[in-house]
Chain A
Amino acid sequence: MSTSAAPAMVGSAVPQPYRVVSRRVDTADTVTFELAHDAGPLPAFAPGQFAMLTAYGIGEVPISLSGLPDPDDDRARRLTHTLRAVGAVTRALHATAPGATIGVRGPFGTSWDVESAAGRDVVIVAGGIGLAPVRPVLHAVLADRARYGNVVLLVGARTPADLLYPDELLRWRESGVQLGVTVDRPADGWIGQVGVVPALIPHARFDPANSVAFVCGPEVMMRFTAQALIGRGLPASRLRVSLERNMRCGVGWCGHCQLGPLLLCRDGPVVDYARAEPLMNIREL
């Protein structure tokens, strides 16, 4: 093994200690962390890639990058992750206070390849916590706004209280993003849309023949969203979904995240729908 390969190997196999520099409560069960590595950071993450986050003594879980650092800032190598407390590891991570240390391995997997959408309309569709992995796509597009056409963001959530990044949603809309938000269960006083997120697609303004779509959420939601987008004329090859299975090693060794011919920690999580659709429809996978 060459010396130059060592940092990547260390990053992929051994959790590196990262300090929690900020912890923002997003919803009742969801937080966004900013993590800093004091000694030397891992290689840069791209939007769509994920890290294995370790709660020391408990375990590790795959969590996608949920923000892009400001490249002009000296904090450029900080990592932003949004996670929801659903199991033992995520509950422990969720409870981690600023100043505490968690372990990080990565970056792993494929990216959204935001660059490939340059010159085209950008359609982002997210359901639930799925807004977190596509948030860096929006950051990247807005940071270089002139290179992209219409930007559409359609968001679905269980209830208004479960909506992630509500302040940012408003800022994005003010900056020209065509925003649609819908909830399954409205609360008193909710004046927005009620229904499923694929129902917003017929009303969104974009050119299907010249768009790239980025879709993240529960797999069933992504399937129906893809049908609606393809129904409007978007080619499946320009529709990307983020798939998740049981990611463990992160580098395609252990096989826990196999989906047919794909090892999603390596060949995913971001996969073209033309490739993903036949696999998503096989019950045994």
Chain B
Amino acid sequence: MTDDVVDRVAALPFFAALNPQQLRQLCEAGMPASYQPGERIFAEGGTADRFWLIETGDVALDIRVPGRGDQVIETLAGGAVLGWSWLHPPYRWQFGASARERVEAIAFDAATVRDRCDADPVFGYAMLRLFTPVITERLQATRLRLLDLYATAAQVGRP
């Protein structure tokens, strides 16, 4: 870990609730990562061994649909975290992710962070409190999209 990683993580609001010691502990598992436009960051079904704090650039989450290829289901922008399948078994990516443009990020080693969470429940609880809202917000966004709010009655089969 370098002070550069700490500075870069601290420059974004996502981990702002961690105290300085927790931030340093987290950043011990982090390293800078860059992706070119179109580059795959992880593939659906792969081992969820990392997560990322996106600094700049858009990332597309996708899922492979037979006959239709990789279907984009959501995009994430700078400031967002990418990946939560590392949090719980079986530690497999449920979706894939690829860079839509050049992406700069901090990649965190999942096993190291999980070990830290297990060894230090205060740190673990702080991490959980940061990631639970992400899961909640994306669940709410998915529910909103299920409503198909912009559709006309005819488009959703209502009279």
Binding site for B on A (CB under 8 A): 29, 84, 86, 127-129, 156-158, 162, 182, 184, 186, 190-196, 198-200, 202-203, 217-218, 220-221, 224
User: Which residue of B58, B75, B140, B150 contacts A128 across the interface (Cβ within 8 Å)?
Assistant: B150
User: Which residue of A194, A195, A202, A218 contacts B149 across the interface (Cβ within 8 Å)?
Assistant: A218
Chain B nearest CB from A112 CB (Å) reads 21
Given known A29-B152, A199-B137, contact A220–B75 (CB-CB < 8 A): no
Enumerate the 7 nearest inter-chain pairs by beta-carbon distance, A residue then B residue, closest first. A128-B150, A158-B150, A218-B149, A196-B141, A193-B75, A194-B75, A195-B74
Cα–Cα distance between A86 and B151 once the two chains are bound (Å): 10
A158, B73: Cβ atoms closer than 8 Å: no
Chain B residues 71-95 with CB under 8 Å of chain A are 72-75, 77-79
Cα–Cα distance between A127 and B152 once the two chains are bound (Å): 13
Cα–Cα distance between A13 and B124 once the two chains are bound (Å): 66
Given known A199-B137, A199-B141, A203-B78, contact A194–B150 (CB-CB < 8 A): no
Contacts of A182 in B (CB 8 A): 75
Cα–Cα distance between A220 and B147 once the two chains are bound (Å): 9
Chain B residues 50-85 with CB under 8 Å of chain A are 58, 60, 72-75, 77-79
Cα–Cα distance between A158 and B149 once the two chains are bound (Å): 8
Closest to A203 in B: B77
User: Which residue of B73, B151, B154 contacts A194 across the interface (Cβ within 8 Å)?
Assistant: B73
A84, B152: Cβ atoms closer than 8 Å: yes
Chain B nearest CB from A184 CB (Å) reads 5
Cα–Cα distance between A193 and B100 once the two chains are bound (Å): 10
Closest to B71 in A: A186
The answer, yes or no, to whether B153 is at the interface (CB within 8 Å) is yes
Closest to B153 in A: A86
B149, A127: Cβ atoms closer than 8 Å: yes
B153, A196: Cβ atoms closer than 8 Å: no
A158, B151: Cβ atoms closer than 8 Å: yes
Binding site for A on B (CB under 8 A): 58, 60, 72-75, 77-79, 100, 137, 140-141, 144-145, 147-155
Closest to A221 in B: B149
Cα–Cα distance between A196 and B141 once the two chains are bound (Å): 6
Given known A184-B145, A186-B72, contact A191–B100 (CB-CB < 8 A): yes
B150, A184: Cβ atoms closer than 8 Å: yes
User: Which residue of B74, B144, B150 contacts A162 across the interface (Cβ within 8 Å)?
Assistant: B150
- Other A-B pairs, 8, CB within 8 Å; known A86-B153, A190-B72: A29-B152, A127-B149, A158-B150, A158-B151, A162-B150, A184-B148, A192-B75, A203-B79
Cα–Cα distance between A200 and B150 once the two chains are bound (Å): 17
Closest to A220 in B: B149
Chain A nearest CB from B137 CB (Å) reads 7
User: Which residue of A127, A195, A202, A203 contacts B150 across the interface (Cβ within 8 Å)?
Assistant: A127
Cα–Cα distance between A103 and B64 once the two chains are bound (Å): 51
Chain B nearest CB from A203 CB (Å) reads 5
Of B77, B79, B147, chain A has the most CB atoms within 10 Å of the CB of B77
Contacts of A217 in B (CB 8 A): 149-150
B79, A220: Cβ atoms closer than 8 Å: no
B74, A194: Cβ atoms closer than 8 Å: yes
Contacts of A193 in B (CB 8 A): 58, 75, 77
Contacts of B153 in A (CB 8 A): 86
Given known A195-B141, A196-B144, A199-B141, contact A128–B149 (CB-CB < 8 A): yes
